[in-house]
Amino acid sequence: MDVLFPQPEESPSPDVSFLISHSGHYEFVDNVPRPMHSHRGAEVVLFTRGSCETRVESGEHFHCVPDMLLILPPGLRHIQYDNSTDCETYYTVFEDFSGTADFTLRSIRLQEETHIARWLTEIYELCREHEFQEASHLLAAAWLRIERLEAARARCIDMHPALRQALAEMLHHYAEDLSITEIARRSNASVSLIHQLFRRQFGMGPRRFLIALRMREARAALLNPNFNISDVARESGFRSTNYFIRLFKEFHGVTPNTYRRSPDQFADRLKLTEKLFDFSAGRSDF
């Protein structure tokens, strides 16, 4: 067990509302029962290895596994027990001076979302180095990303079932030879309904959405120097390299090679909508 209590009793800096009271790292020591405890601030717990059980005084129970976050409200008594021998957690206790953060008791599965987990472990390392302001800023960024992840997943739940299934097919199979007719069939919907649902939700048809998704993957692949343009086309779901190059230039205003040389210079030319980014944040729910 390694626990830090780094911060003095003071208000946060004017440009960040979070104040960390302590951050800690737990690795299995034993399973000797420890008493229930609580904190003045809220606690966010990241489970990185193994498993354990967490119970709160109001009766709720959580089976905690890797890539899971647990949000514990201020003052709520809780206990972690029945730890596996490889159990590891990172936790941060903090206060929100803006009064706007949602500290409702809940668990969140991160799955494909990697930034939040990395930032929460880095917060612990920053606190070890007494870099408290930097840790608070990073916590604010992590909390914002948690909020966006939950909001994106909530939007997915409210979607028409056929649209939700169509999006799942695209997100998991974009690199395959995927037609809108096949997507509609897998979604148990007509092609016309799929077109209607995409235009209503995203302001674009399903084919344009699929191209936008593939272009996002292409931009990421272009940053890998080990991929030639044919590799990028194939990894992004395009069977013809020439067609990919033509479509990429139409979409971004420059060729893939030009974009690869100066990606930052051409970032403002992207034609993706914010809705695509917001939706994809919740894709691990599918």
CATH code, domain with 49: 2.60.120.280
Per-residue burial over 31-57, b if 16 or more Cβ lie within 10 Å, else e, is eeeeeeebbebbbbbbbbebebebbbe
Pair (22, 47) in one structural domain: yes
Pair (144, 166) in one structural domain: no
Q: How far apart are CA 220 and CA 231, in angstroms?
A: 12
Q: Would you say 155 and 132 are in contact if contact means Cβ atoms under 8 Å apart? A: no
33-55: per-residue pLDDT in tens?
A: 778 999 999 999 999 999 999 99
Which domain range does residue 228 map to? 161-285
Q: Would you say 81 and 31 are in contact if contact means Cβ atoms under 8 Å apart? A: yes
Pair (208, 281) in one structural domain: yes
Pair (255, 223) in one structural domain: yes
Pair (128, 174) in one structural domain: no
Q: How far apart are CA 206 and CA 193, in angstroms?
A: 11
Pair (85, 177) in one structural domain: no
CATH number of the domain enclosing 254: 1.10.10.60
Asked which of 156, 178, 193 is the last residue of a domain, the reply is 156
Report the predicted TM-score, pTM, of the whole model to 2 decimal places.
0.63
Pair (152, 36) in one structural domain: yes
Write down the residue that tokens 């208000």 correspond to: 11
Pair (7, 143) in one structural domain: yes
Pair (140, 204) in one structural domain: no
94-149: per-residue pLDDT in tens?
A: 999 888 999 999 999 998 789 999 999 999 999 999 999 899 999 999 999 999 98
Pair (17, 152) in one structural domain: yes
The total of structural domains in the chain comes to 2
Asked which of 124, 156, 188 is the last residue of a domain, the reply is 156
Pair (121, 166) in one structural domain: no
Question: According to the model, what pLDDT value does residue 263 have?
Answer: 80
Amino acid at 59: G
Q: Supply 10's token pair.
A: 């003071």
Q: Would you say 230 and 241 are in contact if contact means Cβ atoms under 8 Å apart? A: yes
Per-residue pLDDT of the chain (286 residues; tens, 9 = 90+): 554 545 554 555 556 789 999 999 999 888 777 789 999 999 999 999 999 999 999 899 999 999 999 999 999 999 999 999 999 999 999 999 888 999 999 999 998 789 999 999 999 999 999 999 899 999 999 999 999 988 878 777 778 999 989 998 998 899 998 899 999 999 999 999 999 999 988 889 999 999 989 998 999 899 888 999 999 999 999 999 999 999 998 888 889 999 988 887 775 555 544 344 444 444 433 3
